[in-house]
Amino acid sequence: MKSPSRRTLALSAFGILFLAAFGWIVATQGPLAATKVTLAEARETRLARSLFGIATVEARRSHSIGPTLAGRVAQVLVDQGDAVKAGQLLAEMELVDMDARLAAGAASAAGAAQRAHAAEAALAESTSRAKLARNSADRYADLRKKNFVSQEAADAKAHEAAAAQSAREAAVAALAAAKADMQRAQSELVGTGKNRAHLRLVSPVDGVVTARLAEPGSTVVAGQAVVQVIDPASLWLRVRIDQGRSQGLAVGLPAEITLRSRPGEQFPGRIERVDWVGDAVTEERIANVVFDALPTGIAIGELAEVTLRLPAIENALAIPAAALQRQKNQSGVWQAKDGQARFLPITAGLISADGWVEIRQGLAAGDTVIVHSAKALADGSRIQPVDALK
């Protein structure tokens, strides 16, 4: 047997290369290929938790100032952006018949006072009359005893005295009525005066006008705002936080605020109030966050992102959140056992902001779990651990 020729050697080499290429394709692409995975160890770490919410800048107190009666706007003295003081006149409603009604009220009060005066005089007169009649009746009664006058004359005098007394009592009642009438007329006058005062719209606080909602000449109904005033120092954020992730939301939590107009900056703040009533439709909790120092140039209605820092959990046994999987309605992790994937049900707890999940039950420190995988794993899948998938 002669030694193999160069041609045979070349052909054999080619054949081996060829089969190797085929083998490589089958091993890396077919179902025989192992799934590449990355691994991580369960370890004790510090879980820094946070809540995230979307917020809008709002004024804590916004005063909608309008008339208490329907009417026409006479003048509006301020415009949007004007600073106003407490008690400053902002707008005035048209008086219409208000002054005439005041005059009528005053006149009617004066008339009532006069009538009361007349009733007083009438009372004095009837008092005097009653006194006279009583004296006269007493005298006749005395004379009757001595039989100087007839019984009839004495009876007539007694009747006169009783009638005069009744007339006096009527005069007392008339005086009380006249006095009450005078009081009513005066009250009416005061009320009309107050109504007139309400036509002057004054600012209840020191603040800034944020809206001028009606112009002179327009008619507004009772309660409709003509001018809106806010206190610029009272600006805060109304934060909406998903109910499912709102555990731990409490007053006083520190917050980091990013305004939409300044995406790179973070402003410190804290939760001032947590609403008892959440939004049942959007399934969100609502809280109010105040700035530690109010940034300049922010506008009401501006969107902001708020990150709330919850107290961290020290020394919690944790794994990367990506490792937490679900199989047949069970939470658990995949573990590498002899080159194969095995599912292990575990009980997971809280999740930190940087993606670590607390292990309540099922794993011990140092246990290895599969974090990332190139495809979905099944029990018994062949796996090949790598540093990173690419």
Partner 1 sequence: MINLASRDVLHGWGKFLFTGVGLGLLIGATLTMGGVFRGMVDDGQVLIDNSGADLWVVQQGTLGPYAEPSSLRDDVWRSIAGIKGVAETGNAAYLTIQMAHKGKDTRVMIVGIEVDRPNRPGAPPYLTAGRPILQGHYEAIADERAGLKLGERVKIRRHDHTVVGLTRRMVSSSGDPMIFVPLKDAQEIQFLKDNDALVNERARTAANPAFNRPGVPGLLEAAQASATQARSVNTVLVRLAPGADPTAVAGEIQRWKRLTAYTKAQMEDILIAKLIATSAKQIGMFLVILAIVTAAIVAFIIYTMTLAKVREIAVLKLIGAKNRIIAGMILQQALALGIIGFLVGRIAAGLWGPAFPKYVLLLPQDAVAGFAIVLTICALASSVAIRAALAIDPAEAIGG
Q: Is residue 325 near partner 1 by the rule CB under 8 A?
A: yes
What secondary structure does DSSP assign to 201-245, as a single string?
EE-SSSEEEEEE---TT-EE-TT--SEEEE-GGGEEEEEEEEGGG
Residue 262 binding partner 1, by CB under 8 A: no
Q: How far is the CB of 242 from partner 1 (least distance, A)?
A: 4
Structure tokens at 281: 């439709």
- Does the protein bind partner 1 through residue 13 (CB under 8 A)? no
Part in contact with partner 1 (CB under 8 A); list of ranges 16-24, 110-118, 146-154, 199-207: 16-24
Q: For residues 147 and 329, which CB has a smaller minimum distance to partner 1 in the complex?
A: 329
301 binds partner 1 (CB under 8 A): no
Question: What is the DSSP pairing of strand 383-385 with strand 35-41?
Answer: parallel
Taking the least distance from each CB to partner 1, the nearer of 62 and 243 is 243
Tell me the two tokens of residue 58. Answer: 């709002």
Contact 116, 180 (CB under 8 A): no
Q: And the tokens for 210?
A: 């944020």
Contact pattern from residue 156 through residue 185 relative to partner 1, giving x for each residue in contact according to CB under 8 A and a dash for the rest: ------------------------------
The nearer residue to partner 1, 194 or 375, going by C-beta atoms, is 375
Does 83 contact partner 1 by CB under 8 A? no
340 is a contact residue toward partner 1 (CB under 8 A): no
Report, in Å, the least distance between residue 345 CB and partner 1. Answer: 13
Write the CB contacts of 40 (distance below 8 Å, at least 6 apart in sequence): 319, 320, 323, 368, 369, 371
Give residue 151's Cα distance to chain centre: 89
Give the 3-state secondary structure of residue 381: coil
Q: Using the 8-state DSSP alphabet, how is residue 382 labeled?
A: B
**Listed ranges 202-210, 265-273, 287-295, 374-382: which one lies at the site for partner 1 (CB under 8 A):** 374-382
Residue of the chain from 1, 2, 3, 30 that contacts partner 1 (CB under 8 A)? 30
Tell me which of 65, 116, 249, 357 binds partner 1, using CB under 8 A. 357
Q: How far is CA 266 from CA 130, 180, 293, in A?
A: 92, 68, 12
**Binders of partner 1 in range 270-299 (CB under 8 A):** 281-282
Burial 81-115 (b: 16+ CB within 10 A, else e): ebebeeebebbbbebeebeebbeebbebbeebbeb
- Return the closest-CA partner of residue 306 out of 261, 255, 344: 255
Q: Pick between residue 161 and residue 239 the one whose CB is nearest to partner 1.
A: 239
Q: Give the nearer residue to partner 1 in terms of CB position, either 5 or 296.
A: 5
Which stretches within the chain are classed as H helix? 6-29, 98-145, 151-198
Answer yes or no whether residue 106 interacts with partner 1 by CB under 8 A. Answer: no
Binding site for partner 1 (CB under 8 A): 7-8, 11, 18-19, 21-22, 25, 29-31, 52-54, 220-221, 224, 241-245, 263, 281-282, 305, 320-322, 324-326, 328-329, 331, 348, 351, 353-355, 357, 371-377, 388-389
